[in-house]
Amino acid sequence: MAQQHDDDDEPKINDRRKIDPETGEARVEDGDAANDAADVGFSEDDIALLAEAERDLVAEYRERAARAEAELKNFRTRVERDRVANREAVIAEVIRSLLPAIDDLDRADAHGDLVEGAPLTLVAQKLRAGFAKYGLEKIGEVGEPFDPKRHEAIVQLPSADVTVNTVADVLEPGYVLGDRLIRPAKVAVSVPEA
């Protein structure tokens, strides 16, 4: 028997290419992403789950970016703090190495070797002014209470005149740079008699 072919029995071909092969232009169809997803077998629930997963992923990456930005800010703060601390340590070390020269100038001044207008007097004034610019301060004065954090006791002298340990004499001045002790003052200490 011969089979009859009518138009309804003809196979239908759906061209789903996104680019028209004849014109080379993008095809625009009436369907949206949901229709395209439905065409490949996704349901509305699947599409909603995918959208939610995408939102969660975007939120996660935003959180990671914010965390990375905070870590970078903390890193920069630490680097700046370390840089300042290193700078202060270097300044303190340079000053510490020059303290013997300042001590010699102080001894020369105490013996009357530095007279007004003499070249060595001018050098001493410039050195002291330069150190003062960085905040170097002399510590250790007669009569102040003894502080083991700032003073080094070389001699203890029992005395009925004091009720607490007190600096009786300064053998070598100490120096501080801001809050940093550069060198403790070497002192003789009057201690209360027992």
194 DSSP 8-state letter: -
Reported as a single tens digit per residue, the pLDDT across 102-126 is 999 988 888 888 888 888 888 889 9
Reported as a single tens digit per residue, the pLDDT across 24-77 is 777 766 555 555 554 556 788 888 888 888 899 999 999 999 999 999 999 999
- Max CA distance (Å), the chain: 142
Give the model's pLDDT for residue 22: 79
CB atoms within 10 A of CB 175: 21
Reported as a single tens digit per residue, the pLDDT across 162-175 is 899 999 999 999 99
CB atoms within 10 A of CB 166: 19
Q: How confident is the model at residue 5 (pLDDT cuts 50, 70, 90)?
A: low
Reported as a single tens digit per residue, the pLDDT across 132-151 is 998 899 999 999 999 999 99
CA–CA gap between residue 175 and residue 136 (Å, rounded): 7
**At which residue do the structure tokens 């013997």 appear?**
100
* Span 138-194 CATH architecture: Roll (2.30)
CA–CA gap between residue 166 and residue 146 (Å, rounded): 5
Chain centroid to Cα 48, Å, comes to 46
Residue 159 tokens, joined: 């005395």
Reported as a single tens digit per residue, the pLDDT across 64-104 is 999 999 999 999 999 999 999 999 899 999 999 999 999 99
